[in-house]
Amino acid sequence: MLTNRVIHNVSNHILNNCLPSGFGVMVFSTKKRFIAGVTCPKCSQMDKLVAYTEDGVNFRECVSCGFRDELRLSSAPKEVQTRVNVSREEVARQTMPVRILDPKG
């Protein structure tokens, strides 16, 4: 029977060594790196957040006000719907005919 520790070690090995980069799990470097174009949720200053990993946990931190929280990223971002990636059936389903009223009637 597998223990939780064995399962944990195997899953960490798979995440760290077997999956290709960008497989839906985002891991930051232990070195703090600035995140361009992001505003701090606390002080609203732009370009003041750094992202880093500490003991396998992702964090973001504001160098201006000291705000810090854990990032819980577990899946790849969803693709934004555009006219290119929406099916014609979906567009047809959302399209409604326009009724023009006769101003004389």
CA atoms within 13 A on the CB side of 104: 0
pLDDT of residue 104: 79
33: nearest Cα among 51, 15, 45, 19: 51
Residues of the chain with pLDDT under 50: 1-2, 4, 6-15, 17-24
In angstroms, the CA 65 to CA 32 distance is 16
pLDDT for residue 79: 78
Please report the pLDDT score of residue 26 as a whole number: 55
CA-CA distance, 59 to 52, in Å (whole number)? 6
Regarding the domain delimited by 25-94, which CATH topology (the fold level of the hierarchy) does it fall under? Answer: N-terminal domain of TfIIb (2.20.25)
